[in-house]
Structure 1
Amino acid sequence: MAWLKAIFVGLVLLIIVAVSGFFIWLAPVGAGYTAKVMCSRIFVSGLSSERALKEDVLADNNPMLSLITANIDLRHQTVSAHAFGFRTRIAVYRPNMGCTLTNPENATSMQNSSPVLRPIAPQPLMTAPVPPAVDRRQLNNILAAAMDEPELKPSRRTRAIVILYKGQVVAERYASGISVNTPLTGWSMTKSAFSAILGRMRMTGMLPPLNYPVSINEWDTQPDDPRAKITYDELLQMRSGLEFDESYWNPISDVVQMLFVAPSAAGLAVSKPLVATPGSEWQYSSGTTNVLSAAMRNLSRSIQQYQALPAELLFRPLGMNHAVVETDSDGYLVASSFMHATGREWAKLGQLYLQDGIWNGTRLLPEGWVTHATSPAPHAPNGMYGAHWWLKLPSDGQHPADTPAIPADAFFALGHDGQSLSVIPSKDLVIVRLGLTRKAKAFDLHKFVGGIAALFPEHQENADKQDEAQESRNTNK
């Protein structure tokens, strides 16, 4: 009977460890994630509370999230979440700032500290028919397949598709309950938007040259802190050398703690130690973008000016009147992950980069900024990353031979759950796809982008150059 007793004691201890682990590690993450995501989807995107819970929180996600209870306060525009009455987190909505995750005792003061931002005049995009050279039936088939579900149980969940050709909307599709005016999360596409905001800061003289050391108080005040030598460019190119765990499956990883537990995303990011010499290695890290956010705060005259940077430097000149970047509890913009914008507004970001930083005839980004952003960063594997823009899809090389090729000059903003912004200068194309896709095989972005690109003609300048090259070859025969 001794062995039965030992098994029983072992099971009891295992249960105690599991329960303790849930309340210590999983519960605060689950409550924070549930409150933040539901708040943003309900009060920023305008989705129903039922849809926000069933799709955005629970669908194809960690089953432990079903143990979290959420409470929506429509009057005060908050969402609180807890695990069996413990580890309560609350997300507070504020106009122009979206939702901020905090603790219950801070909710009231946060609601009373909403900054006032000037209204942004919209700049509607022009629409145009699909060019005659494009096979309209094939294009419609690609779009229909992207909006369709591959299985009986939804797993693709495409919510918005926008295609710009020569700066005009030639095709778009929206899921039920989503419209042209629905702001949708970009997750890590936010990083590419902050590349543009930093470019605007450089254009206006707020940002020093990229080879200058970044301005971080915690590093600058420590004698001989080696982190104080990290440059803006090393951060933009993901070569900071800072320790950072980007594992989304792990509740105690840096990225999960930074986004859903820590009061300051920027504070957690700047606290990380060096694990490599700055500039010597490439490592994708959401923390680096929030280090840049902390530097942006130091370069601003006030917290009000800092929090208004996205609106004043990017959203206003592009007429993005639905876009918002959310902050953490300490007031820092969560530059790695928390921007929302409509499908057309995300497309405007891509169009700005396609046009080399020029918008309506005015240069918004410094000359060479786009070229630098879309040039391979040193040490980036297979040249897949530039300066806060992807130059190749992470899935490249993992497709059948008959998969349509994506033009070599394409570059991308990519985000969690299948968000993508594809810019293809040689085709004059910008392609936005937003959704909620957590199963890797539910949506093939490479096939989607490559299939659309194959239907559109080459940019005329490129075609002329090819004709000239062919004539030169014929003459020299």
Structure 2
Amino acid sequence: MIRIKAIFIGVILLGIVVISAFFIWLAPVGAGYTAKIMCSAIFVDGLPSSRARDEDVLADNNALLSLITTNIDLRNKTVSAHVFGFRTRLAIYRPVLGCVLADDADQITQLRSNTPLITPVDAKPLMTGPLPKDVERRALNALLFDVMDEPGPKPTRRTRAVVVLHQGKVIAERYDEGITAKTRLPGWSLTKSVFNALLGSMQLKGMIGDMNDPVPINAWQSNGNDPRAAITYDNLLRMRSGLEFDENYANPLSDVVQMLFVEPAAAGFAVAKPLINPPGAEFSYSSGATNILSAAILNQSGTRGIYQKRPTDLLFRPLGINSAVIETDQDGYFIASTFMHATARDWAKIGQLFLQNGVWDGERILPKDWVDYSISPAPADPNGIYGAHWWRDLPGGNNDDANNKTPKVPKDAFFALGHDGQSISVIPSKELVVVRLGLTRDRYAFDLRGFIANLSQLFPTIDPNAAQQTGNEDRRDDEGNNQDQGAPAAQ
């Protein structure tokens, strides 16, 4: 009897500990995640509130999120979330800057008063083009049908958009029900590759120096003995900063989850992490690295107003990307690791810019060697699959397996990849850019490698030595000499 009583008391105590842990540590994360994701899905992407909750928040996610109650204020464009009335978190929408978590009514007023005035971007729509005559339309349609289809009776793949560019023109696109070519969609870590391009544009214009220079972070450089002051742009871009950071979305207490959905200052949280390895020594994927770069861009910009206009003025305006929204933390720093939203076609323009070696409509946007730099491995890691905020291969690659009979991804392909199955695939030898956006939390529900390999196989390989004359502006270097002729500038 005494033993049974002890077990009973132990179970009760364990239950109390679990419930306490939930309310103290997990509830704020879940409420913050729910409020932020729903706010962005509804007010930035334009999705119905029921879809935002049932898919963007709950689908294939932790069941505890179903305990969270939400309140959507369509008039004031806010979403609040709480667990049984406790640990309420609030997300608010602001024009231009999207959604941000706020603490109270006073902070809402302050955040909304700091919204920058940015001249709207004139759209430069991508042109549509015919399918190349030697590409079998039926085979292409079959691949696209499969991407949009579900592998089983329960939705797990949830592809929302696919866009295929060939020679800078849209030759195929598919959208899920309720999604159109005008619907913004989150890119998650595709945002990292966009900030790679922003840094390239800033370097071209002389706003920043060499990527091997120490990154200007005041908290590091104000202390002459801080070893973090030696961290370079290159260290951060190649995910070799040496800083401690736990990039585990499955753990609600991990650094990446706390940074995105609990901490008020994403950049400040990342900057404060301690050094655990020498800079440049070891690869460790970290969203914190990109938010440190975001802080460095602000330091180089002088004022927050100039900083918040940088992506638009240096990148989106020349490309005619008018759908992009990059969200910030409460301090006004772009959450450069994660929170950009754009239409599938505008995401494709980022890939096309890199396919065209940093030139758009005859204007050089990125330095001549920037794309080569972005997709090259770190000097100490010649077999690595990561470059500088671009992937050189897909994780779980099988291209080097000589016994594998499945189609191979072209060796010159490179990728921007994001959480929940977002991808931009750039394949220079095929003059292809492929964007796939969705809500795929089961990594086995969609085979990106197989899709890109099979799609690439349908298209002829270009002769790299053959000049391409397509009626668009040739790409020219700073001396006006024709260089890297290949995919035309998209219009």
TM-score (norm. length: structure 1) = 0.95
Q: Across the two proteins, how many residue pairs are aligned to each other?
A: 465
Q: In structure 2, what is the Cα distance between the partners aligned to 1:308 and 1:326?
A: 13
Taking the TM superposition and a 5 Å limit, the aligned residue runs for 1:20-169 are 20-105=20-105, 106-169=107-170
CA contact (8 A) 1:282 1:378 kept: no
Asked if residue 460 in structure 1 is aligned to residue 490 in structure 2, the reply is no
Instruction: Indicate the residue corresponding to 1:389 in structure 2.
Output: 390
Q: 1:330 to 1:385 in 2, by over 3 A?
A: same
Structure 1 counterpart of 2:177, which letter?
A: S
Asked if residue 336 in structure 1 is aligned to residue 337 in structure 2, the reply is yes
Instruction: Indicate the residue corresponding to 1:13 in structure 2.
Output: 13
Structure 2 counterpart of 1:11, which letter?
A: V
Match for residue 408 of structure 2 among 402, 405, 408 = 405
Q: 1:379 to 1:244 in 2, by over 3 A?
A: farther
Taking the TM superposition and a 5 Å limit, the aligned residue runs for 1:71-470 are 71-105=71-105, 106-380=107-381, 382-397=383-398, 401-461=404-464
392-401 vs 418-427, which moves further: 392-401
Q: CA deviation at 1:379?
A: 4.6
Q: CA deviation at 1:440?
A: 1.2
SS at match of 1:240: coil
Instruction: Indicate the residue corresponding to 1:473 in structure 2.
Output: none
Q: In structure 1, what is the Cα distance between the partners aligned to 2:427 and 2:286?
A: 25
SS at match of 1:461: coil
1:203-252 CA distances to partner (integer Å, 9 max, x unpaired)? 11111211111100110112310000111111111111011000111111
Q: CA deviation at 1:383?
A: 1.8
Q: In structure 2, what is the Cα distance between the partners aligned to 1:167 and 1:20?
A: 55
CA contact (8 A) 2:98 2:325 kept: yes
Q: In structure 2, what is the Cα distance between the partners aligned to 1:151 and 1:320?
A: 36
Structure 1 counterpart of 2:113, which letter?
A: N
CA contact (8 A) 1:255 1:287 kept: yes
Q: CA deviation at 1:401?
A: 2.2
Q: In structure 2, what is the Cα distance between the partners aligned to 1:31 and 1:462?
A: 56
CA contact (8 A) 1:149 1:155 kept: yes
CA contact (8 A) 1:123 1:319 kept: yes
SS at match of 1:340: strand
Aligned residues with identical type, % of pairs = 61
Q: 1:78 to 1:380 in 2, by over 3 A?
A: farther
Structure 2 counterpart of 1:184, which letter?
A: L
Q: 1:463 to 1:407 in 2, by over 3 A?
A: farther
CA contact (8 A) 1:281 1:379 kept: no
Q: CA deviation at 1:463?
A: 7.3
Structure 1 counterpart of 2:419, which letter?
A: H
Question: RMSD in angstroms over aligned alpha carbons?
Answer: 1.5
CA contact (8 A) 2:398 2:404 kept: no
Q: In structure 2, what is the Cα distance between the partners aligned to 1:114 and 1:380?
A: 42
Q: In structure 2, what is the Cα distance between the partners aligned to 1:284 and 1:404?
A: 28
CA contact (8 A) 1:426 1:462 kept: no
1:60-110 CA distances to partner (integer Å, 9 max, x unpaired)? 001111111111110001111111111111111111111111213422322
Q: In structure 1, what is the Cα distance between the partners aligned to 2:330 and 2:388?
A: 28
Q: In structure 1, what is the Cα distance between the partners aligned to 2:84 and 2:109?
A: 23
* More helix as a share of residues: 1
Q: In structure 2, what is the Cα distance between the partners aligned to 1:306 and 1:355?
A: 26
Structure 2 counterpart of 1:272, which letter?
A: K
Q: In structure 1, what is the Cα distance between the partners aligned to 2:466 and 2:288?
A: 42
1:291-345 CA distances to partner (integer Å, 9 max, x unpaired)? 1001011011210111111111111110110111000111110000000111000
Instruction: List structure 1 runs of 4+ shifted beyond 3 angstroms.
Output: 378-382
1:441-460 CA distances to partner (integer Å, 9 max, x unpaired)? 11000011111100001123
TM-score (norm. length: structure 2) = 0.93
Q: CA deviation at 1:168?
A: 0.3
Name stretches of at least 5 consecutive residues in structure 2 with no aligned partner: 468-491
